[in-house]
Amino acid sequence: MAHRFQSTEVELFEFLLEDEFDFPVPAQQVWRAITEDIGKWWGPPFTLLSDATEVRLEPSIGGRFMEICGENDGALLGLVTEIVSGRLVRIRILRPRAGVFPHEVCFTLEHLSETRTKLKLRHESWLKRGEQAEISKHSILTTWQTVLDERLRQWLSEGGQATG
């Protein structure tokens, strides 16, 4: 049987987004929100699968970041590669979107006071050069702004607490 191999060269460039979000709640509350309760404030349209019913993060080394659709369907989006309980979680994203190549997201919490926390975001990625890159950069930036500065902020302001 003949084998067929194909290779395509793609010019990539490194993309780095760093941002900070201040929340008027204790660090432990932000930690629970980004680990245990992520599915309560993160969802469509910021999911890979349009029919995702849940977003889940397992906060341990090798833990899965995933979307669930029904009982047995879903998508593995990434794996936790580093965790410092209550302070840092780093996720290697496995399911990149078009024009965005493997990337890594890191959330770091800075305890500012008993009732104030800074969440630092670091998103490192490789993008394919071309007009799609500008669309990808804009999409990454607006996604994080909406997911963290709007959805997470609203969840925390409404008193979001761990359920378990």
- The string of pLDDT tens digits covering residues 113-157 is 999 999 999 999 877 777 777 777 888 889 899 999 999 999 999
Q: Which helix (H) or strand (E) holds 36?
A: none
Low-confidence ranges of the chain (pLDDT < 50): 162-164
Query: For position 97, what pLDDT does the model report?
Result: 60
In the chain the domains, ranked by start, together with CATH numbers, are 12-157 (3.30.530.20)
Query: For position 101, what pLDDT does the model report?
Result: 65
Global pTM value? 0.84
Nearest CA-CA partner of 11 in 92, 99, 80, 89 = 99
Query: For position 135, what pLDDT does the model report?
Result: 75
Query: For position 100, what pLDDT does the model report?
Result: 58
Cα distances (angstroms) measured from residue 32 to each of 69, 100, 158 = 23, 29, 14
Name residues whose C-beta falls within 8 Å of residue 19's C-beta, 6 or more positions apart in sequence.
Answer: 120, 121, 144, 145, 148
Q: For residue 6, how many other CB atoms are within 10 A of its CB?
A: 4
**Coarse DSSP helix, strand, coil percentages of the chain, rounded to the nearest 5 percent:** 25, 40, 35
Query: For position 104, what pLDDT does the model report?
Result: 93
Nearest CA-CA partner of 49 in 30, 72, 73, 24 = 73
The whole-angstrom separation of Cα 105 and Cα 125 is: 9
